[in-house]
Structure formats: structure tokens, C-alpha cells
Structure 1
Amino acid sequence: MAALTRGYMLQAVAKEHRIWVFKEEEPTWEQSLICGHTVVDTLDHQAMLRAAHDVAERGIPISGILCWDETRIQPSALLAENLGLPTMSPTVVATCRDKLATRNALQRHGATPVHAVAARDTREALRAAATIGYPVVLKPRALVGSNGTTLVTDPEHLTAVFESVATRSMPEVRERFPDPVVVEEYLDGPEISVDSLCWEGEVTPVFMARKHLGFPPHFEEVGHTVDAADPLLRDAELSRALHAAHAALGLSHGWTHTEWRLTARGPRLVEINARSGGDLIPYLGRLVTGVDAALAAASLALGERPAIPLRPQGAAAIRFLYPEQDTVVGSVQVDRSRLPATVELVEILAAPGQELLLPPAAHVTCRYALVIVTGDTPEQCAEALGAAERAVSLVPGS
């Protein structure tokens, strides 16, 4: 999966730079793109520091640290700081990683206000929800990929789901909090994400994705659309909100991926990430703008301001395909004769025998395929996605 979701970024950086990879296991698909590797716990910055000193002792200079995995951004920032290399402040990165700390920082600076309270148990969550007012959203403080995030409509619903949100975990997330759940006001309106370049406090939105969500009351991201002509790229209110949010968290240099709800009261930040977007959004951005987020991140890791040669043209979209119900995969088949000419990429994500469990049991891992298309407009992309989806079939197994 990593070869698909981030492989295109590694390929882009490898064309311009020599790369030494730190991984938990021996590299496979990366081998042709790197000059060497070290097997190390990449969630442990001290272990990586020892590994980096070993690399340097071999006479291999280390000029920058590059990471685009959300759970490893913090240890990577600590590693870069210890090596005296350009990086976002680890303290700032830690604030981005903690959903409550993010809200507190925004509140202190009066930026994109959203009511949010941390809760240790159901009683505290009920008290917070009563103060904020239903509906509310329950979020694990440090998980990724909308994992566990749930819209709650009333006290009975909150009582029924709180424990599952509070105890949800991911192996790659090691942060632990005594009050593990954030209770937030529900933000109504369309959701977008913005990938931006930050340099000396100036925030430049490079591309914007309109999110497509599914599986309510959860917030599964089932697709994204990037449009070069999106008027929000020139929206003064969103620009002010972007600058205010970055300033509140102390994000003055770096590439960021922010997620927003466009509410009746104006743009409200959902979360801010000290990295480029996931779900192949940078791939869509590159198709539409010509800007390579991976190369920009590499320049930033070297302390250099990236060139952003914007060449906006048309639109691109991605759709992830899900089973109608929990199932075991027999096979996934693609009738390529039925694919529209504007299909850029079709990838099968599920293997025969794999169990696909829909939210809330699982998130993201229940996708069985993805399709990327291009077009002159988002409407053309939506039409092409519909046709492409009909050409991909999931055959259940036993």
C-alpha cells in the first residue's frame, strides 16, 4: 500500500536527491530509488539518531530529514533538530498531532474558534456535550485517518459509543493521554483540504481538494476533487483563516495540509497537519497544478524555499471503492475496455481472502480499489468516476 500512496513522491525526490531510508523492515519496492537503508524503529527518534550517526560515520553526509507519514512527523522533527538540520519545531509538530492542543492554541489566538473539551470518561463527555450542545463530534486525540471520529446526536448515543472511541488504538500511534477523547462542536457545511507552502510566515495555498465523505455518523473520506479554477483559492476569508491558524500554531516554515469546514460562520479548521496530504491528494494536485509537493517538501527539508511553478489546468478526482457490506474478497476485476479515456489510474487495493470491514469496525483498509480521473471540470470528473466505478467489480469470496 505504501508503494501506491507515497511511492510516487519517493520517485520524484529520488530524481533530484540521493536518499537513505530509515524503515522498520527491509525495503522492497524502494530499492531502485535509494542509495542505502537502515532498519530501525522510526517511531523512536533516539534510535534514529544513533542510526543517523552510524550513517554519517560511513562518510555519507546527511543534509535533510524528510517525512510525510503523520505518525512519524514528530520523531522525524526531533531527529532533524538533534542533527542541527532544518525542521519545523518539534513542539509545534506535537501541537498539530494533539487535537486538543491544536484547539487550545487556536483559542488562545482567537483563530477559527471551535468549542472543544477533552474527556476522561463518559460522565465528562456528557457534561462537555451538554455545554457545547448537540450534535457533537467525538475524536480520539492522536489517531489518524478519521479513525474513531463519530458524530453524536444525543446523550444516549454518546453513552453508547464513548468507550469504543476512547479505547480505539493504532499500532503506530504511541501517544497516550489520560483524557483520550476530544468532544467538539459539530461543524456543518462542505469539507475541504488545503495543501500550502509556508515561508517566513507567508502561507500560500497551492492546491485545494473538495472532500467526499461517507458512512455517517463517521467521517470516512471516500474521495477528493481538485479543481484548478476553484474560487476558494482566491477567497479572502479563507486566506485570512489560513494565516491565522498557521500563526496560532507557530507554523512559519514548511508544507502543511489543513482540513476545513465551510460553515455559515465562515471557515473553521478541522485539523492541521505538518506534512503533505494523504489519499493521493498531492498526486491530484500535481496533475492539476504541475506542482510536486514531494519536491517542495525536499527543498524545505534542506532549508531552501521551493519553487512553485503553478501551471493550473483542469480538474482531477479520486474515488475509493468500498463493498456494500462487510465481506471477504474473492477477487477484484477491472474491465479495462469499459474505462473512460480520462482515467489516469486504477489500482486494486484488496487481495483474495482479505476481510473488508466497513466503518466503524475499520477505516481506509476496507477499500478494495481506487480510480483517478482528469477532466476540464469537476463535473466531468464525477461523470468519468461513475463510469469507471462500473468497470470495477468486487467478487465476494467464501
Structure 2
Amino acid sequence: MKTVVFIETNFSGLDAIAWCKQRGYRSVLVTDNFERFRKWFPASSLARLDLVDKIIHVANSNDLELVSKALRNEVDSIDALLTFAEIRTHIAARLCREFGLRGANPDAIELAQDKYRFRRTLLAKGADSVRCRKIDSIELLPALLAEPESAPDFPCFVKPVQGHSSIGAMVCRGHSDVGSVLQSLRQINEDWISPAFVVEDYLEGELVSAEILTTGAGQHQIVGIADRDVVNGSVEIGASFPFVDAHREAVERKACAALDAIGYDFGASHVELIVTRDGPHLVEVNTRVGGSGHSVMLDLATSRSIVGDCIELCLGTLDIDSGSDAIGEAGGRTGDGAAARPPIAREPQQRLYQPRRGAAWKCFVSTTRGKVVAMPAIDAIRAQPGVHEVWLHREPGDPVVDANSNFSWIAQVMCTGRDQHEAKLNAARAVDFIATQTTIASIG
């Protein structure tokens, strides 16, 4: 039986655990805070955590020595190790190197997660032209914006050098906004959000993401492009797939150029870009599958599991050459810690992913701070046209906060349609239904 180790997980990673169960693989989850999942995931999804065959609790799942020791002591053999959680992609890549398993280049992941170094690398390699400045503390923002010659232009975009879930990502439109931006960012109290910030050019346009599976250096399987629904400048509340317009090929080329620029050579990526009047520009590279239901959307549209493909890629069993094992035999932990055989470089004969219908997810958020009093029944939401799945992130009695991150979502629907447009329309209608049937008591 093959053993697959996950270092923490995100919402998409719950489906990866289910994939292992369906395929007869033994799954192991390493975590330093199981209660974190109860905060991150809707209650209806938590049952999939029960599918894990073994849970290893450690004091810090980002500590290489600690996790390595725990795995050696508690797991006889490892055939694949990966993560779907942004906060642990770097440690997972380092562990793969230590155990001689297939994995991504840790240096590429480290670079992608440092939003300042990422921007500087793209500039240096001609992959993009967005300018940026770095401040070691948000308290330095007023001084930076007051510099007479080198201050960023307004509007500008402020975000943590390292972060996740849109936390701390804000538009500053002028000097009058600085006070409110400071007040908001001072209140951040979340794991894995850096005290340093990057201040960069504001990009006006539509936010999209390129979903990609990289099978080797320079070998990128394009899953497709997804659009985004955004509120308050940066908080994502929806997406639809496959998004097709005149910029699609340019978006794909720009995304692949970014992966090559940072040296990302193995695994999934969720590359965010903004399509401006002069073409697409990069926002960031997430070196994992899109979270928050994004992978479910891709699976519904393509009839192929992206999380399953990630696992099979790491096991060495993913067929990317139309009938042959293009990445060689599966490798596991070797007795002396030597590296496993790397993927065989071959050009895929055809795209793995062919969208067959549209899919979209959308979230209900509220501008009213307060407490949820009543919500519609899940069955009533599921009865709306095109609804495939419903996730409740809040229940009656729960507080409602400002829409400033993914943790502000109240309810989420996943819908399908004949194409991307119909799926998106179905999702919007379902969220409108939720909104009309939900009562929120305001505070103050």
C-alpha cells in the first residue's frame, strides 16, 4: 500500500484525502493545530478529515527537524509527500528533498512567497514591469508615501510580504486613506502573516487566475483560466471557469513565464494576474492548487481531479504522455536519503485538461456587522438552478465581521452550467436567494 503524507491541509486538500481513500492509499496528516481546521473549513466538510488513516501531532509543522524526526519515528515508508496549504508548501518541498521524494524546488517556493523578492525577480528577468517598495513595518507606510521623489504613485496596493487568504491586502487610493489602512493592518492577528509589507503599483483591471500543473522544468499543463469576483479591492468572493477571452493566451504565457523566472519546476500552481488595458500583469504565484473550493470548480468543469493528479504526479504514476509513464517509476524514501529519480523530460502529446462545461463558486458576504439570526436551509439552497454544493461558513448565532478576508464568508455555493457564463449566473442567483433569506442583526 502506498503511503501519502500531507503537511497540514487546506479546503482543497480535504478532497486529496478522499482521493487517497478511494485509491486505497494510506494517508498521513501532520499538523500542529487541528483546531485550525475548524476555523478554516465549513462544518459540513470536516467529516473528510476522518478519512485520514493517521494523524501526527507536532509542536510546529513548519520546523524541518521536528517534522522529519516525527515522520521517521512514526511512518515506516513514504511514497509521496505534499501539501495543499500555502503556509506549508516550502517545508513540504524541503522535506521531499530530505527524504528523496519527488517535489518542487524549495528555492522557487521561497521566492514566490516573498512578494518583494518575487516582484524584483520578475523585473530583473523581464517577466513583468510592476514596480514595488518594501517596508519592514506598516508603521513606515506614511513616511514612504511622503517621500518627495521616490514615493509610489496613488493609488497603490499594500500587502504583506508573506501572507494568505487576502489578509492584509488593501488599496490605498490617496493620503486620506493612509490612516484607515494603518488602523486595519495593525489589527492583523493571524498565523503566517509577516510584519513587513510591500507597496506596489496598483493594477486596474480584471483579476484572473491561471491554473497550472507543472510536470518538469518548463513543462506546464494548463488547466485553464478562471475569473474572479472581488469586493473591497482585494477580497475574493467568487470565481468561474473556464474563462475565455481575447487575453487568454497572453495570460497563459505570462503565467508560465513567471513560473520559469522563479524556477518552479514541479507541482500545481495558482497564478493570479490582472488584465489591464496594456495586457496581463502578475499579482502573485501560489505554489499549490487554488483553495476555498477552487479545485472542485476545476474538477466539475474538466471531469478530471486536479488534486488527484497532484498526488499521482508525486507518486510517479501520472500518465502525461498518452499511454506511458512520462515521469518514470514511483520513488519512495531511500535507505541512505539519496534523491529519487527525477521526472523524465517529455513533451505531453495532448493537454490533460479539456473543459466540458462551466462551473462557478460564489460567496455571500454582508456589509452589516452583527450576528446571524436566521439562514435558509441547505436543501432550499441546493434546490436552486445549477447548484452542485453548498458550504455554510456561518450559522445562526455566529458573528458577522467586515468583508476583509476569506474568513468573512457567510455561505458559499458551487454551481455548474452549460458554459462558464451560465454557471456564473446560476451562482449569482443562488447567492441572491441566500441573501434574501438571511437575517443579520446589526451591532450598534
Where on the TM-score scale, by shorter chain, does this alignment land: which range? 0.7 to 0.9
Q: 1:208 to 1:221 in 2, by over 3 A?
A: same
Matched, 1:323 2:362: no
* Structure 1: stretches of 5+ with no match in the other structure: none
Code of the residue aligned with 1:230 in structure 2: it is V
1:63 paired residue among 53, 69, 79: 79
Alignment partners' CA distance in 2, 1:325 and 1:129: 41
Q: What is the number of equivalent residue pairs in this alignment?
A: 384
Decide whether the 8 Å contact of 1:166 with 1:181 is kept in 2.
no
The aligned counterpart of 2:22 is 15
Alignment partners' CA distance in 2, 1:345 and 1:160: 37
2:393 paired residue among 330, 349, 360: 349
Matched, 1:366 2:404: no
Give 3-state SS (helix, strand or coil) of 1:191's partner: strand
Q: 1:25 to 1:241 in 2, by over 3 A?
A: closer
Tell me how far 1:62 sits from its aligned partner.
Answer: 0.6
2:51 paired residue among 33, 36, 39: 33
The aligned counterpart of 2:66 is 47
The aligned counterpart of 1:274 is 287
Alignment partners' CA distance in 1, 2:100 and 2:144: 43
Tell me how far 1:159 sits from its aligned partner.
Answer: 4.7
Q: Give the alignment's TM-score, normalised by structure 1.
A: 0.88
Deviation per residue, 1:260-292 (Å, 9 max, x gap): 001122211100011000121111001011221
Q: 1:4 to 1:67 in 2, by over 3 A?
A: closer
Matched, 1:97 2:113: yes
Code of the residue aligned with 1:29 in structure 2: it is A
Q: 1:12 to 1:101 in 2, by over 3 A?
A: same
The aligned counterpart of 1:84 is 100
The aligned counterpart of 1:253 is 266
Identity %: 20
Decide whether the 8 Å contact of 1:96 with 1:272 is kept in 2.
yes
Q: 1:144 to 1:31 in 2, by over 3 A?
A: closer
Matched, 1:127 2:116: no
Give 3-state SS (helix, strand or coil) of 1:15's partner: helix
Worse-superposed segment, 369-378 or 37-46 = 37-46
Equivalences for residues 278-297 of structure 1 within 5 A: 278-297=291-310
Deviation per residue, 1:283-335 (Å, 9 max, x gap): 10010112211112112323555546434212111110112311112232237
Alignment partners' CA distance in 2, 1:164 and 1:390: 29
2:217 paired residue among 187, 192, 200: 200
Tell me how far 1:91 sits from its aligned partner.
Answer: 1.6
Tell me how far 1:32 sits from its aligned partner.
Answer: 4.6
Alignment partners' CA distance in 1, 2:10 and 2:98: 29
The aligned counterpart of 1:170 is 190
Alignment partners' CA distance in 1, 2:64 and 2:352: 34
Alignment partners' CA distance in 2, 1:306 and 1:72: 27
Q: Give the alignment's TM-score, normalised by structure 2.
A: 0.79
Tell me how far 1:20 sits from its aligned partner.
Answer: 1.3
Tell me how far 1:108 sits from its aligned partner.
Answer: 1.4
Q: 1:256 to 1:335 in 2, by over 3 A?
A: closer
The aligned counterpart of 1:225 is 240
CA-based RMSD of the aligned residues comes to 2.6
Tell me how far 1:80 sits from its aligned partner.
Answer: 1.7
Alignment partners' CA distance in 2, 1:383 and 1:225: 10
